[in-house]
Amino acid sequence: MKERLDHKELEERIAKFWEDEGIYSFRNDGPDKVYSIDTPPPTISGLIHLGHAFSYSQADFVARYKRMRGYNVFYPFGFDNNGIPTELFVEKTYGTTAEKEGREKFIGLVGGETAKFAEMYKSTWRSIGISVDWSLLYNTISEEVQKITQLSFIKLYRMGREYRMLLPTIWCPKEGTALSQMELKDKSLKSRFVTISFSDQIKIATTRPELLPACVAIFVNPDDTKNSVHVGKIVKVPIFGHEVKVIADRRVDMSKGTGMVMCCTFGDLTDIEWYKAYGLELKIVMDRHGKMLPEYFGGRKVREAREFVIEDLRKRGCIVDEKEIVHSVNVHERCGTEIEFLVKKQWFVKYLDMKQKLIELGRELEWNPKYMQVRYENWVNGLQWDWAISRQRLYGIPFPVWYCKKCDAPILALESDLPVNPMKDMPKSKCENCGSSEYVPEEDIFDTWATSSLTPLINARWGLDGKYMDSVYPMSLRPQAHDIISFWLFTTLVKCYLHTGKIPWKSVLISGHGLDSKGMPMHKSAGNIIEPRVVIEKYGADSLRHWASLSKLGDDASFQEKDVTSGARLVNKLWNTARFISMNDGKPEVKTRIMDRWIASRATAVMEKVTEMMEEYNYSGAKREADAFFWFFCDNYVEFIKYRLYGGDRSPIKTLREVFLIIIKMQAPFMPYITEEVYQELYMKQEGCKSIHISKWPGRGDMLVDPDALAAGDEAQKVIAYIRQWKHDRKIALNAEISEVVASKDFGELEADIRGAMNIRKLSKGHATSKVEGTDVSIEIMQ
RNA sequence: GGGCUCGUAGUCCAAUGGUAAGACAUCGCCUUCACACGGCGGAGACCGGAGUUCGAUUCUCCGCGGGCCCACCA
């Protein structure tokens, strides 16, 4: 074995071996002993950072452990290239927009970009040593996934779980496109705050006087003694003359303006809240490009209409106050345009009536860590609206639906035709409602969560050939981070339950985030991204995984280079121990001594503890135990038996090899490369297994438990530690010879071990006064 | 504002109803034939307050500070 380990060479060679040998291949031969994992598909947005390495490693610890426990592990991988981050990323890369390119062409661009990045992502995940079966790869914009998403829509509709309702959406009037909240930013803008007199007593301050024609109500705070007297009154809107009611609501800030506010459909998000809460009238005054409709202010643009209406109001004597203010408004981050709201019919999944059931389903899941369940329940309890699944965007999966031109009834695509694009394809049937064959296509696309919420079914190939449905669904595990319990976890539970009547997984594993060294999330904009590749090149993948293994499940962890360094040291130590064993190889003798049975018994105890922790998904506890035992083994047992080996006694070899095998098996889920290398060097032939990762996890009965040896060995170890300290206090080299030690007891067989370990010429029983702490033994040392 | 969570040596963190393990850094000793990417040893810590208890770092409450999610921000 080489003196120095070259982790780059090692990782390339071993990763290739795993792939060539299909070590992580899933065998689709029935549900027996299957462990299936609903891997999170990373978003394709051009970024891979240590946060990914952190959470994916944690799921991989579980996958590798289960594989060694004899499970047929179903561990797929997916790419999420269906969402807005991908869209924005591709738009930026090509300097274009989905609007400009059109849906078909843009999906083509995404496809090319995904293929490019998929290779990069794949190579990163491979080098981290994530043991997925790459033949189970999916991506969320693929034809197959489009088909599944559309099928889900059609089935839910037929179940009566979906409906359409008018809802405002955030809109960029400049680009004429719907926006997500992700695309908004705050901007401080100067604005004119004008106070308009509706009547003698009703004065309202607003920055949006042009929305006067869309005014549908006036709000005051019920605690506002001055203004609340007007509650219930009917007021005429200036210029337009329509009548609106004064309503009390706590969302009104009494200190702003006059304490009275007009609600228009729609000027801001509060207007939407009120509109929904009080079932107000809908008055649309603006088109999709931010122009007033022709009947209002002659179809002027918003800003011009504002000037126009202020002038008009002034002439009528309705302006009672006017001042410049600076306030924060939402703008489109790409072009800086102030957003508007556009009202459109949207699709909803109805689930508010299922709250109680959803709580119960959540309780059927095994939550790790347990407290994460509370977050889920709080979310479900706080739900106020059904789930809006349509988005007015171009890029994404289209709805498989057209509408009857005459009666607006939906015309669904045939399941056998999926996936369809209603903008290109034509419906096969006439309107079920009125028999008309004229139709208009749905232009909206699905919200990304409408697709992500199907990953267990996508993995099982539901709606396709369904070939994994029996063997992998419900899945054993959903690993994911805590920030999307309310999105991914919740929506998956909803949809999969509706489709299958079962919860989609047995357990969930909620990980934290890998943060930078200061505890900040890694973001491109923060400039604190560290790529896994960089760390792997410097320290190796095992070392990076070591860092990920140290933090408790669910906890965020800041990236500490020292933890990676200590991982590298551990790898080095494992390698050198293996070298030591290979140097002292040869035919082992069957006979053992107390010291051997001592370390073997200790190893068994540690093994049992580690196994128990792994079963509870407490990988960090398991890793700490395994690490601690390995260092203990090196510093004590290996040091204690050297005198025997050097003296030509081969009796420790058997134990040395057996215990070290346990050690590398406990480390295998965490440090797959070094353990594989050592296994192949030392144990492959003996065990008749080509990879440690499919070898058997040691169990009760494989190893010795000898309580007498355990007690005697512990005592000897403490005596040796005492003598070490004694030598140390006198600044004597640890291997320096001691002429005599007198002890209060006869160590029997262990006498030779103590003498050997500490280089003592004579060890005898006699009167001694220095007590060795933690034992009943007293000793006297004579230099 | 609400929910959850965290707050331990210079730094990062572990466990625990009876004052606390480890890693990095630091200091001292040891160049012993697997490993100086090593060994041995030293110094160094439980956010503040109240309560429960014989006893709290550990349990409860309050406060302060950090994180995540939600709500709010005419």
pLDDT in tens, A629-681: 999 999 999 999 999 998 888 899 999 999 999 999 999 999 999 999 999 99
Distance CA A468, CA A86 (A): 29
Give me the count of residues in chain A. 783
Answer for A344: CB within 7 Å of strand B: no
Is residue A177 left, alpha or beta, with left meaning phi > 0 and alpha meaning psi from -120 to 50? beta
Taking the model in full, what pTM does it have?
A: 0.89
Average pLDDT (A30-50) is 90
Give chain A's radius of gyration (CA, Å): 35
* Chain A 306-335 residues whose Cβ is under 7 Å from strand B: 327-328
User: From CA A446, how far away is CA A394, in angstroms rounded?
Assistant: 10
For A158, counting Cβ atoms within 10 Å of its Cβ (0-12 exposed, 13-18 middle, 19+ buried), the class is exposed
The gap between A121 CA and B16 C1' (Å) is 42
Residue A438 contacts strand B, CB under 7 A: no
Q: What value does the mean pLDDT take over residues A114-126?
A: 89
Task: Count, in order, helices (H) and strands (E) of chain A.
Answer: 25, 29
Please check whether residue A98 is in contact with residue A394, taking contact to mean a CB–CB distance below 8 angstroms.
yes
Burial class of residue A637 (count of CB atoms within 10 Å of its CB; 0-12, 13-18, 19+): buried
Query: Which pLDDT belongs to residue A186?
Result: 65
- Strands in A177-178's sheet, in edge-to-edge order, are A177-178, A162-172, A340-349, A387-388
Q: Judge if the beta carbon of A385 is closer than 7 A to nucleic acid strand B.
A: no
The answer to whether some atom of strand B lies closer than 7 Å to the beta carbon of A193 is no
pLDDT over threshold 80, residue A269? no
Summarize the confidence of residues A746-773 as an average pLDDT.
88
Question: Which regions of A700-754 does DSSP assign to beta strands (E)?
Answer: 738-743
* Interatomic CA distance for residues A595 and A601, integer angstroms: 10
A377 touches strand B (CB under 7 A): no
Distance (Å) of CA A227 to CA A149, A204, A428, A488, A552: 51, 11, 59, 45, 55
Band of pLDDT at residue A696, cut at 50, 70 and 90: very high
Range with the largest mean pLDDT of A88-97, A524-533, A621-630: A621-630
Mean pLDDT over A419-437 rounds to 91
Q: Model ipTM?
A: 0.94
Q: A449-469: per-residue pLDDT in tens?
A: 999 999 999 999 999 999 999
Backbone conformation region of residue A296, classed left if phi is above 0, alpha if psi is from -120 to 50, else beta: beta
Query: Given this model, what pLDDT does residue A118 score?
Result: 83
The answer to whether A725 CB sits below 7 Å from nucleic acid chain B is yes
Residue A482 CA distance to nucleotide B61 C1' (Å): 28
Residue A180 has pLDDT above 70, yes or no: no
Q: Are strands A203-206 and A260-264 parallel, antiparallel or unpaired?
A: unpaired
Å between A513 CA and B49 C1'? Answer: 33
Q: With a 7 Å cutoff on the CB, does A440 touch strand B?
A: no
- A707 exposed, middle or buried (CB, 10 Å; 0-12, 13-18, 19+)? exposed
Q: What share of chain A is helix, strand, coil (3-state, %, to 5)?
A: 45, 20, 35
pLDDT exceeds 60 at position A182: no
Output the average pLDDT for chain A.
Answer: 89
Q: What percent of chain A has pLDDT over 70?
A: 98
A34 forms beta bridges with A72
Q: Residue A783: which of A710, A716, A703, A729 has the closest Cα?
A: A729
pLDDT at site A541: 97
Residue A334 has pLDDT above 70, yes or no: no
Check whether residue A759 has its CB closer than 7 Å to nucleic acid strand B.
Answer: no
Q: Which nucleotide shows the minimum CA-to-C1' distance to residue A560?
A: B12
Under DSSP, the state recorded for A618 is: -
Protein CA at A753 to nucleotide C1' at B8, angstroms = 39
Residues 464-503 of A with CB under 7 A from strand B: 482-483, 486-487
Q: How confident is the model at residue A188 (pLDDT cuts 50, 70, 90)?
A: low
Which pLDDT score, from 0 to 100, does residue A254 have?
76
The reply to whether the CB atom of residue A180 sits less than 7 A from any atom in nucleic acid chain B is no
pLDDT at A444 over 60: yes
Nucleotides of B under 7 A from a protein CB: 2-6, 11-15, 21-24, 28-35, 37-41, 66-70, 72-74
> What's the CA A515/C1' B50 distance, rounded, in angstroms?
36
Which nt has its C1' nearest the CA of A627? B22
- Distance in angstroms, CA of A614 to C1' of B22? 20
Per residue, the 3-state secondary structure of A271-307, as one string, reads HHHHHHHHCCCCCCCECCCCEECCCCHHHCEHHHHHH
Q: Are the beta carbons of A472 and A505 closer than 8 angstroms?
A: no
Q: Which of A378, A9, A342, A319 is nearest to A170 (CA)?
A: A342
Please report the pLDDT score of residue A589 as a whole number. Answer: 78
The b-or-e profile of A296-327 (16+ CB within 10 A means b, else e) is bbeebebeebbebbbebbeeeebbeeeeeeee
List the A512 CA – B53 C1' distance (angstroms): 35
**Residue A190: beta bridge partners?**
A326
Mean pLDDT of A252-257: 77
What is residue A224's predicted lDDT score, i.e. its pLDDT? 80
A192 contact to strand B (CB, 7 A limit): no
Please state whether the peptide bond connecting residue A85 to the residue before it is cis, i.e. omega within 30 degrees of 0.
no
What is the average pLDDT across A617-625?
94
More confident residue, A251 or A616: A616
- Whether A338 sits with its Cβ under 7 A from any strand B atom: the answer reads no
| pLDDT-derived band at A255, boundaries 50, 70, 90 | confident
Q: How far in angstroms lies nucleotide B22's C1' from the CA of residue A628? A: 9
pLDDT in tens, A462-501: 999 999 999 999 999 999 999 889 889 999 999 999 999 9
Q: Which of A265, A266, A260, A269 is nearest to A233 (CA)?
A: A260
Q: Which nucleotide's C1' atom has the smallest distance to the CA of A369?
A: B5
Specify the pLDDT at position A243: 93
For A1-23, what is each residue's pLDDT tens digit? 888 899 999 999 999 999 999 99
Residues 550-589 of A with CB under 7 A from strand B: 550-552, 555-558, 560, 562-563, 565-566, 568-569, 571-573, 576-577, 579-580, 583
Q: Which nucleotide is nearest to A208 (CA to C1')?
A: B74
Of the segments A273-277, A342-346, A637-641, A723-727, which one has the largest average pLDDT value? Answer: A637-641
What pLDDT does A505 receive? Answer: 97
Measure, in angstroms, how far nucleotide B11 C1' is from residue A430 CA.
71
